[in-house]
Amino acid sequence: MPDPVPGERFAWPPQLVALSGAAVHACLAVALSWPASASAPPDDSLTLPDLIVEDASTVDADSGTLTINTGAYRARAIELAELLDQYAGLQVRRTGGFGSFTTVSIRGASAQQTDVRLNGLPLAPSVVGGFNFGTLSLKDLSAVDLHAGQAPVEFAQATPGGVINLRTELGESGWGQSGYASYGSAATWQAGVRSGARTGPVAHGLSLGAAASANDFTFVNPNRAFDPDDPNRNQEEPRRNADVDRRHGLYLGEWRISRDRTFDALAQHSVQTQGLPDARNSASARTRLTSRQTNLQLRLRGSQGTNNRWSTRGFWHRTRLDYDDREDQLGVGAQLTHSEQQQYGGALGYHRGFGPRWRWDAQLEYARETYAATDLLSGRTSAGRRDHANLASRLGWTSPSSRWIAGLTLRHQHAEDRYDAGGERREDDLDATRPQLDLRWQPGESLQLHAQGGGYVRLPTFFERYGDRGLFIGNPALQPERGRNLNLGLRWRQPGWSLHAEGYASDLDDAIVTQYDVLSGIGRAENVAGARVLGVELGSRWSGTLGWLGMTMQARAALQDTENTSDGVLHGKQLPGRFTEKTFVGTTLWLPGRLELFHEWVYVGGVFYDSLNSRPAPDRHEHGIGLRKAFSLPGSTLDAGFEVRNLTDERLEDFNAQPHPGRQFFASVEWTLDPHTTTGSPP
């Protein structure tokens, strides 16, 4: 494959990457050794009475859940996928610019192995799988919970890749009135309003927004037609037919029926229309995809005393996709397809304590998923249904000194599949029980060690088995994948400084891997006899003051080996699409006058497009810088910012050689009636 990054362009040598990492650690060492810096409060000029500083991410000491405070980023022109990409254990893959198809997975897992939820509501139905993060707006979210390794019992259908739970919450004081807007390169803009009210026991919140991008960034296209004036194809051209238009709305309601009873509701709807460029980036490309998503959830939760808690929930999820490639410009043939997937069901949860030492948690979920697709050109129809029930139960024990916590979890899954395509009917059933163990030891207030291990089973999605859209075709012969995983780690926390390190391992049988043909670029899911994932994840954060300067430094890194252990030519090869190393370094400075200056660097390396490892993806080095300032206005606050993404104008690729934008500029504002503002990472 020709190198998509011409030689004369900027490239980071490996020696410079190593020196950059050493420099970061040296800076951290100097900062940690600075007298009184970690424990001393910031200077008064940096902590004005109307400045609320919120942590960008926190770790729950009991469950190990990493929570990202998305509200701290609302004033920035940043997408959800870009924020998640700052966390080294996450693999983010995108097909291009703003709003493009995006998947996120955890620690070497695939997107289908990662459970995505919205307030506990499944967003990635197992019938189709692979949730598209490109259709979500960060502005609607209050937090993101990352459950790597073993997920809590409240997610009964825990997958090997863990759970990403997106949260939208009103909070104790509800939502205030606010508005936001941003504009940047490639005619990319976002705008929206949020409003809420709490009256006695009743609270409401409403968020409305819109976003769009022409996505006409320039790039070097190695696949364009031969031009005698540019025989080496070095000339840049605009990305064509990649525009995105999105509209979204969210309603939240909460009613505190009594002191120990709460009823809440969620209603969300979004519509996104986008163009899909062809492989040659042709100016005549007309392929379009429209996605409409609706989510509804009603939940009643309560408690009986201090030891008993319960919850019951009903949910409905609907996704409608309209795919128009009637001119056969992209994928496996001319198509004009309408497909619809729905998921509805309910869940019951119960948590009971037996004295100070024992605790029992249980969760039961039942859902029916339906899928129907019609190709309006050929008249071919396909339909499927999956009924599945998931039961999870954990018995936990805490030592008298509270230093030891142990738990045994059993998860049982029952599923029934029915699929009909062109008059051919297929049926399949599955029952599986998976044990999981967890253990935590906290010898002191600062240090915690933990371990989790267990087994899992994942069914192929209908799209993996029978899909036929764009650059993907199904494989009806796919079998369920089974495996085991283990996580060992520690967390250390001191005033102003934290550190975590975790090793993880997964062993898979009949692992489902999407493989792309070298010549056509068409993907197909295949079972490989075996696969193994070994990795280590490290992270450190320091925050304090250096004289009049407030500073936060964050460093995260992940090293992993994803090996195909099956016999034959693929033995020892890395699984396609997974990175070998990833690093994030972020530095934030607080200057007098409520001025915030930040720099962010993401490095991803060791990715292959194909199973034979014959097509390496270019390593990715992406820098971003930004400046934010909060202005106090009468009865309100205006938070304004400017940032530059991909500062070095490196030309990136991802997701089967899809180009990313080069250097981009963005300006953003957030206005709120609440005379407070938040910052991304506090000193």
What pLDDT sits at residue 664? 96
| pLDDT > 70 fraction of the chain, expressed in percent and rounded | 85
Looking at per-residue pLDDT, the higher value among 679 and 640 belongs to 640
Q: What are the CA-CA distances from residue 34 to residues 286, 546, 598, 683 (Å)?
A: 59, 8, 21, 14
pLDDT tens, residue by residue, 453-511: 998 888 787 777 776 666 667 787 888 888 888 999 999 999 889 999 999 999 888 87
What's the residue count for the chain? 683
With a cut of 80, say whether residue 130 has pLDDT above it: no
Average of per-residue pLDDT across 201-212: 94
What pLDDT sits at residue 231? 77
By the 10 Å C-beta count (0-12 exposed, 13-18 middle, 19+ buried), 64 is classed as: buried
pLDDT tens, residue by residue, 296-306: 999 999 998 77
What pLDDT sits at residue 435? 92
What pLDDT sits at residue 17? 38
pTM of this structure:
0.84
Q: Which is it for strands 404-421 and 424-441: parallel, antiparallel or unpaired?
A: antiparallel
**In which residue are the tokens 């459970």 written?**
115
The fold for domain 14-672 equals: Maltoporin; Chain A (2.40.170)
- Other CB atoms within a 10 A radius of the CB of residue 39 amount to 12
Range of lowest pLDDT (261-265, 492-496, 550-554, 565-569): 565-569
| pLDDT > 90 fraction of the chain, expressed in percent and rounded | 44
What pLDDT sits at residue 393? 95
What pLDDT sits at residue 301? 94
Looking at per-residue pLDDT, the higher value among 470 and 652 belongs to 652
Q: What are the CA-CA distances from residue 478 to residues 426, 461, 481 (Å)?
A: 13, 9, 9
Q: What is the Cα Rg of the chain in Å?
A: 25
Distance CA 81, CA 66 (A): 16
Average of per-residue pLDDT across 58-82: 80
| Cβ pair 20, 557 in contact under 8 A | no
What pLDDT sits at residue 16? 38
Q: What are the CA-CA distances from residue 203 to residues 87, 253, 455 (Å)?
A: 33, 6, 41
| Cβ pair 474, 503 in contact under 8 A | no
What pLDDT sits at residue 170? 82
pLDDT tens, residue by residue, 317-352: 999 999 999 988 876 678 899 989 899 999 999 999
Task: Provide the phi-psi class of 63: left if phi over 0, else alpha when psi is between -120 and 50, else beta.
Answer: alpha
With a cut of 50, say whether residue 24 has pLDDT above it: no
What pLDDT sits at residue 610? 81
- Other CB atoms within a 10 A radius of the CB of residue 67 amount to 17
Looking at per-residue pLDDT, the higher value among 653 and 543 belongs to 543
Hey, where are the domains in the chain?
14-672
What pLDDT sits at residue 481? 83
What pLDDT sits at residue 526? 81
Average of per-residue pLDDT across 662-681: 75
What pLDDT sits at residue 482? 84
Confidence of residue 165 (pLDDT cuts 50, 70, 90): very high
Report the mean per-residue pLDDT for the chain.
Answer: 83
Distance CA 626, CA 680 (A): 12
Distance CA 344, CA 458 (A): 20
The winner for highest mean pLDDT among 72-76, 125-129, 306-310, 513-517 is 306-310
Strand positions, DSSP E, 376-446: 381-398, 404-421, 424-441
Amino acid at position 533, single letter: V
What pLDDT sits at residue 234? 81
Q: Three-state DSSP class for 183?
A: strand
What pLDDT sits at residue 40? 31
Distance CA 40, CA 288 (A): 56
Contacts 24+ apart (CB under 8 A), 46-51: 46/545, 46/550, 46/590, 46/592, 46/594, 46/683, 48/594, 50/632, 50/637, 50/675, 50/676, 50/677, 51/594, 51/630, 51/676, 51/677, 51/679
State the virtual CA torsion across 318, 324, 329, 333 in degrees, nearest 10. 80
